Structure formats: structure tokens, C-alpha cells
């Protein structure tokens, strides 16, 4: 009887170890740091809140994910205006997803989604 209890305990222990021995693989992400603008030009037939980041001769357009939006609102305040330009410095990474942004005349655009790690006004 005692051997049976030890066997059951050992079996349970091995089962528990095998279930909890999963390795978490964390994907390496490139964190980018850049100056840019947090912009809403919906009132002038542009697009609603998004980031514009200069890159060489072009401009990159990004939308923050849900966590990033919370960080933006924490630092810059609640989004209410329909026309605004705020110069910012941001640390972010691309998520690999796209998000839809509302633009003038009922149009929409797809912008790359970013995770915002840090933001401050310039």
C-alpha cells in the first residue's frame, strides 16, 4: 500500500513536470526610436489619430495598438479634438499587423500597427 502511494505521487510529479516544462520562446523585436507627430486631420478630410514618422525622403504612417493607445493617452491626454498636431519622440516596435483608420469622406486607410513603449512631447 505504501509503495502504491509513492508510485502515485511519483507519477503525479512526473506528469506535473512534463506539463510545466514548456519553454517560452520570446520573439526578438526591433525597438525603434524616432521623432514624429501624433496627428488628427479628420476635420480637413485627412485621417483620424495616427503617427507620422519621417524616414529619409518619405513619411511613415502608424497606428498604436490598444496598449500603445493607453500609453499615448496617459502622456498626451484623452483624444477629443478632430484637428491636432503634436510633435513627439517615441520608442516603438512594429507588431506585424495593420489597423484601419477613419479618413475624410468616409474613406479608410490601413496603417502599420505599432507597440508604443515610451512617448514624450517634443
pLDDT digits (tens, 9 = 90+) for 10-23: 666 666 666 654 54
Task: Give the model's pLDDT for residue 12.
Answer: 66
Beta-bridge mates of residue 99: 111
For the chain, domains (ranges, CATH) are 32-121 (2.40.50)
| DSSP secondary structure letter of residue 114 | E
24-39 tens-digit pLDDT: 545 688 999 999 999 9
pTM given for the model: 0.74
47-92 tens-digit pLDDT: 999 999 999 999 999 999 999 999 999 999 877 777 889 999 999 9
Binned at pLDDT 50, 70 and 90, residue 100 comes out as very high
Largest CA distance in the chain: 82
Q: For the chain, how many residues are written?
A: 122
**Element holding 67 (H helix, E strand):** helix 66-76
Task: With beta carbons less than 8 A apart as the criterion, state whether 47 and 109 touch.
Answer: yes
Amino acid at each position: 500500500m505504501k509503495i502504491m502511494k509513492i508510485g502515485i505521487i511519483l507519477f503525479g510529479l512526473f506528469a506535473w513536470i512534463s506539463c510545466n516544462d514548456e519553454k517560452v520562446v520570446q520573439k526578438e523585436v526591433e525597438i525603434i526610436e524616432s521623432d514624429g507627430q501624433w496627428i488628427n486631420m479628420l476635420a480637413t478630410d485627412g485621417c483620424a489619430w495616427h503617427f507620422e514618422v519621417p524616414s529619409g525622403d518619405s513619411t511613415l504612417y502608424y497606428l498604436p495598438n490598444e496598449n500603445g493607445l493607453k500609453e499615448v493617452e496617459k502622456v498626451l491626454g484623452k483624444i477629443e479634438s478632430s484637428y491636432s498636431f503634436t510633435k513627439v519622440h517615441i520608442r516603438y516596435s512594429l507588431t506585424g499587423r495593420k489597423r484601419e483608420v477613419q479618413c475624410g469622406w468616409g474613406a479608410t486607410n490601413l496603417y502599420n500597427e505599432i507597440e508604443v513603449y515610451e512617448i514624450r512631447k517634443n
